Structure 1
Amino acid sequence: MAGNKAVTYLGPGKVEVATIDYPTFSMKDGPGVHQANVGRETHHGVILKNVATNICGSDQHMVRGRTTAPEGLVLGHEITGEVVEVGRDVEFIKEGDLVSVPFNIACGRCRNCKEGKTGICLNVNPDRPGSAYGYVDMGGWVGGQAEYVMVPYADWNLLKFPDRDQAMEKILDLAMLSDIFPTGFHGCVTAGVGVGSTVYIAGAGPVGLAAAASARLLGAAVVIVGDLNADRLEQARSFGCETVDVSKGDPKEQIAEILGVPEVDCGVDAVGFEARGHGREAADEHPATVLNSLMDITAAGGALGIPGLYVTGDPGAADEAARHGSLSIRIGLGWAKSHAFTTGQCPVMRYHRRLMMAILHDRVHIAKAVNATPIPLAEAPRGYQEFDRGAARKYVLDPHGLLTTA
């Protein structure tokens, strides 16, 4: 194979589809690749022909210039594909298998992996626990918004779909298993959502909508989604959620109108560090707003699931403290209310098989909930632009035209 088209980051607001090297079973030097990983042999991996590879809000943070991502970085960590080449040391995954790739890269051998903490594997990123494809400070593993990608530790990482024809019939739903569906589900599980719960989800982007669908799957009595974007709030209402327009002010009063009381059992932050204020402050960034608001409206003894992304370096932050990930959090309020907090990457492997079964047996229609929209790989720059403008869609890149024929 001579080449491999992929989406690359060129600087704030700029992406392009370029030709990069076809993947091999050895890590090469390049933008974002940690020098300790250069030359690393990955005969435990496979090469995938990508069937679907999604644009994520986390990618958008980099493309906006809100991280320290280097120019030339190949983007993309939400990957679904067909195995076209198997490494020497792979035992169980076979050529032709159709698989979902967790966005977390995990070795399956370290203490954290063995404890199910695959989001913070100790062996894949020389800088810190945890890694992902095509992401800043995550070890430099080449991203998957491409025609082909190498996936390491294939026997451990890959989720094989049991029947290819059945999987292709539901491929847009299954494409959500690499990240946003497990991430939204994790946010709800860690917030304590269960049968009869009332839950407030901050953010109606794809992760927030996936969290809302997850809350309904978990048996929540009332799911309330808050956002500033009218189209995204309409998308949340399309599958049975109540909504709060935070541009009208603090969500507390609107929650009281829905529930009769100004608080919920469970809170989920699906916004992260680019949060805006409420009411008259909605035009400006206030990165601690969502966390402080959730503490205010979540009942004493409740929990907050925080799948929204927070970073240690934000060159575009509003103040010096926020540039280093330091926010004015009302931790005293959370302490006084005995709240539990869960942050960090979702350990996708903890959930993805069960969520796959829910999809295959029509217990959930996650692609419809997040308005999954396939576009050709060549149109990725347009997808990024429209997503950045607030489109109520989850853009799914179709590198080989296989989604349109599914």
Structure 2
Amino acid sequence: MANTNRGVVYEGPGEVRVEDLDFPELVLHEQNERKLNHGAILKTIATNICGSDQHMVRGRTTAPAGLTLGHEITGEVIEVGSDVEFIKKGDICSVPFNIACGRCRNCKERHTGVCENVNPARAGAAYGYVDMGGWHGGQAEYVTVPYADWNLLKIPADRDTVMAKMRDLTMLSDIFPTGYHGAYTAGVTTGSTVYVAGAGPVGLACATSCFLLGAAVVIVGDMNAERLRQARSFGCETIDLSQHADLADQLEQILGVPEVDASVDCVGFEARGHGPESGGERPATVLNSLMDITRAAGRLGIPGLYVTGDPGGVDENARIGQLGIRIGLGWAKSHVITTGQCPVMRYNRQLMMAILHDRVQIARNVNATVIPLDRAPEGYEEFDKGAARKYVIDPHGLVGAAS
């Protein structure tokens, strides 16, 4: 078995490097030598760069230097702990970005994004992420996954089929379920009109999910012309928010009414003001605009990331995640608002079947772009500049070979 490992490490604001790492173990030294007999070690087949990673790399969180990045992981099991019963060596599995024990109250109620037992500091954990329990990131050649029987989703197809669809299947670890969660909790269904804020990978995954759920019209708003073109490429209507400050007016031009049935925030706390005179970052802009343009008794899904600590926040309130939200408007319109991490296991098996049986082309819609591990810093740089791509890191060259 291999005994070397390399991965992507956050060195400080704006700087990531590929470095030599310790080979994974079935123990977590960062949590008082926690034994992981229930875990497995995976050879990473595909691992993706996420917008949530980018928040850390920009210095917009309290992430420490030296953190191995990466929470979107698909891999092959090469070792299992003594307590693992059902996952076997050679299984190719999708890894939910939420780390969960499967045993606490929240896990049993399917709230796996806020497991009570995997992070000593607070509920909820993730791989390679700030304040999420010290679990090592998966943008590496090899990675440890705890509670393997619970966390790992075995892909039930022959190896050739799995590898041929890997560019799609790798989206199951985060952005496809996260986008779907935003759409589903916003109540998107047959004939819905939907507004999706943000045309980054999660926004595009959400728009894809809206169509999968039967939406009649999906409208995506962003300030990036290239990303808006990508949204239009699979049937979305688009609004260029760098040119238009009045979102309701733009919706009325498309729909005939200035509101939608459902809306989803796929932007998060680095939101910017709308229009040519927007004046820079305004972290509550998206939340307030969605309450404005969503019909009374409608729903808002908010998978976009909001944090409790933002060193780069525009003011003292923003630096602790305290935003000027028009909750009175949402209350008056009887809105239902769903926030928080996506509980990936609530959706990943169904979405996997949609991929395996050709019901959805998520890789095409998010413009999945495969790069080798050594090009990861370049991928981060291009993504930060607004590239309309979802970067898939291929540590062993297996995805590129299958393509």
1:22 counterpart residue number: 23
Work out whether 1:57 is the aligned partner of 2:51: yes
1:277 aligns with 2:278: no
Q: 1:203 aligns with which of 193, 198, 202?
A: 198
- 8 Å contact from structure 1 (residues 46, 152) kept in 2: yes
Partner Cα distance (2:214, 2:126) in 1: 31
Asked if 1:372 is matched to 2:368, the reply is: yes
Find the aligned partners of 1:87 and 1:182 in 2 and give their Cα distance. 28
Structure 1 SS opposite 2:6: strand
Partner of 1:32: none
Q: 2:150 corresponds to which residue? A: 156
Output the amino acid matched with 1:101: V
Deviation at 1:145, TM superposition (A): 0.2
Q: What residue in structure 2 maps to residue 33 of structure 1?
A: none
Match among 338, 344, 350 for residue 340 of structure 2: 344
What is the match of residue 247 of structure 2? 251
Match of 1:80 in 2: 74
Q: Does 1:193 align with 2:188?
A: yes
- Counterpart residue number, 1:305: 301
Q: Distance in 1 between matches of 2:180 and 2:298?
A: 17
1:21 partner amino acid: D
Aligned with residue 292 of structure 1, among 288, 294, 299: 288
Opposite residue 77 of structure 1, the aligned amino acid is: H
Give the alignment's TM-score, normalised by structure 1. 0.97
Distance 2:105 2:315 in 1: 38
The answer on whether the counterparts of 1:245 and 1:251 sit within 8 Å (CA) in structure 2 is: no
Q: Could you say which residue in structure 2 is the equivalent of 1:10? A: 11
Query: Could you give the per-residue CA deviations for residues 251-292 of structure 1, whole angstroms, max 9, x where no partner exists?
Result: 211111100001000010000000000013445000000000
- The 5-angstrom pairing of residues 89-238 of structure 1 reads 89-163=83-157, 164-238=159-233
* Runs of 5+ unmatched residues, structure 2: none
1:38 Cα shift? 2.8
Cross-structure match for 1:241: 236
Task: Return the alpha-carbon distance in structure 1 between the equivalents of residues 84 and 250 of structure 2.
Answer: 54
Secondary structure of the corresponding residue to residue 298 of structure 2: strand
Structure 1 residues 334-366: Cα deviation after superposition (integer angstroms, max 9, x where no partner):
000000000000000000000000001111000
Q: Which amino acid aligns with 1:276?
A: R
1:309-388 superposed matches below 5 A: 309-388=305-384
For 1:184 and 1:215, how far apart are their aligned partners in 2? 9
Deviation at 1:169, TM superposition (A): 1.2
Q: What secondary structure does 1:318 align onto? A: coil
What amino acid does structure 2 have at the position aligned with 1:345? Q
1:10 aligned counterpart, secondary structure? strand
Q: Deviations over 1:114-142 (max 9, x none)?
A: 00110000000011110000000000000
* Aligned 8 A contact 1:11 1:71 in 2: yes
After superposition, give the CA deviation of every residue in 1:80-114 in whole Å (9 maximum; x if it has no partner): 00001111110000000000000000000000000
Paired amino acid for 1:220: A
Percent identity (aligned): 73
Secondary structure at the aligned position of 1:379 is classed as helix
Pairing 1:262–2:258 present: yes
Unmatched tracts of structure 1, length 5 or more = 30-36
- DSSP-derived class of the 1:247 partner: coil
- For the aligned residue pairs, the C-alpha RMSD in angstroms reads 0.7
1:46-78 CA distances to partner (integer Å, 9 max, x unpaired)?
Answer: 000000000000000000000000000000000
2:110 & 2:162 partners in 1: Cα distance?
Answer: 26
Query: Using the alignment, how far apart are the partners of 1:17 and 1:301 within structure 2?
Result: 49
Moved more, 296-305 or 162-171: 162-171
CA distance in 1, matches of 2:359, 2:334: 34
- Report the secondary structure of 2:281's partner residue: coil
Contact 1:49 1:149 (8 Å CA) reproduced: yes
TM-score between the two structures when normalised by the length of structure 2? 0.98
Q: Which residue, out of 372, 391, 395, partners 1:395?
A: 391
Describe the shift of the 1:281–1:274 C-alpha distance in structure 2 as closer, same or farther (beyond 3 A).
farther
